[in-house]
Amino acid sequence: MTKLATARRSRTITTEEVLIILCHSVNEVLSNAGNAGVDYSPMVQKINKTCLRPDIGCFVLFDGGFSGLVIINFTAESAMEIYRSYLLSMGMPENELAQFHTADEVGNVMGEIMNQIVGDFTNKIRQQLKTSITQSQPKMMAINKQVQISVNTTLDQPQSRRVTFNTAQNNIFYLELSMDKTEFIKLHDFDENELIEDPDDILAENYRQEGNSNNEYSSSNQHDDLMNDLGI
């Protein structure tokens, strides 16, 4: 075996590469949700803890091939821009849109989008890293103070990262990822071009499931239970 072949087979994928996969999922799902023009900073921050921050925060836990936590913190302006652009792209009349980021409808829509982002991420992980992770139901809430969030499992040397995103109207939101310190080492070549679910299909399936269920993210009981769990 040549040195070149050895190097190719030994390519290592680290936390930063996993973060890039997640960033691509954010961009692709938001673009398909009427929010083209969203971009992320080429610089990533190493952070010591993950937090929900004002004005709207959402978190999802994942487990399986590796464990971790994804948090997205939106300012009121970025949340309203994404919410409005999404519903307007779906044909919703502007006079029927919520006016404030604290409205239940805004939280429902942002939670739905978060669900699609992490769903797309888990699909990409399965395709590109040949491992499987499962996600929890997204928890979205409007808050006025910082809340620290940690994974309810023991992570192996946890690593946390934060990336800044900018919308088309230059509003800011932040993506935070905390996961095991994991390295994926490619032992041999494989086909990464197998069929992967399209974000449009994921969004359509989510609407279908919502039509068959009365369980919404805005359920007051779920919200109260979550706030109690967080000690708020």
* Of 90, 137, 146, the residue nearest 114 (C-alpha): 137
State the pLDDT at residue 217.
45
User: What ranges in the chain are assigned the alpha helix state H?
Assistant: 3-9, 15-32, 76-89, 104-129, 199-211, 220-229
- What is the Cα–Cα distance from 41 to 165, expressed in whole angstroms? 6
- Which one-letter DSSP state was computed for residue 142? E
CB-CB contact of 55 with 79 (8 Å): yes
Q: Which residue, among 131, 154, 2, has the nearest Cα to 68 in the 3D structure?
A: 154
For residues 1 and 11, the model is more confident at 11
C-alpha to C-alpha distance for 221 and 77, rounded to whole angstroms: 27
| Ordered structural domains, the chain, with CATH | 11-185+198-229 (3.40.1550.10)
With a cut of 50, say whether residue 219 has pLDDT above it.
no
User: How far is Cα 42 from Cα 36, in angstroms, rounded to an integer?
Assistant: 18
Q: Which pLDDT band, with edges at 50, 70 and 90, does 207 fall under?
A: low
Lowest mean pLDDT among 6-15, 26-35, 135-144: 6-15
**Contacts of residue 86, Cβ cutoff 8 Å, sequence gap at least 6:** 33, 34, 35, 109, 113
**128-175 residue pLDDT tens:** 999 999 999 888 889 888 888 776 556 678 899 999 999 999 999 999
* pTM: predicted TM-score of the whole model, two decimal places: 0.78
Q: What is the pLDDT of residue 49?
A: 87
pLDDT surpassing 90 at residue 9: no
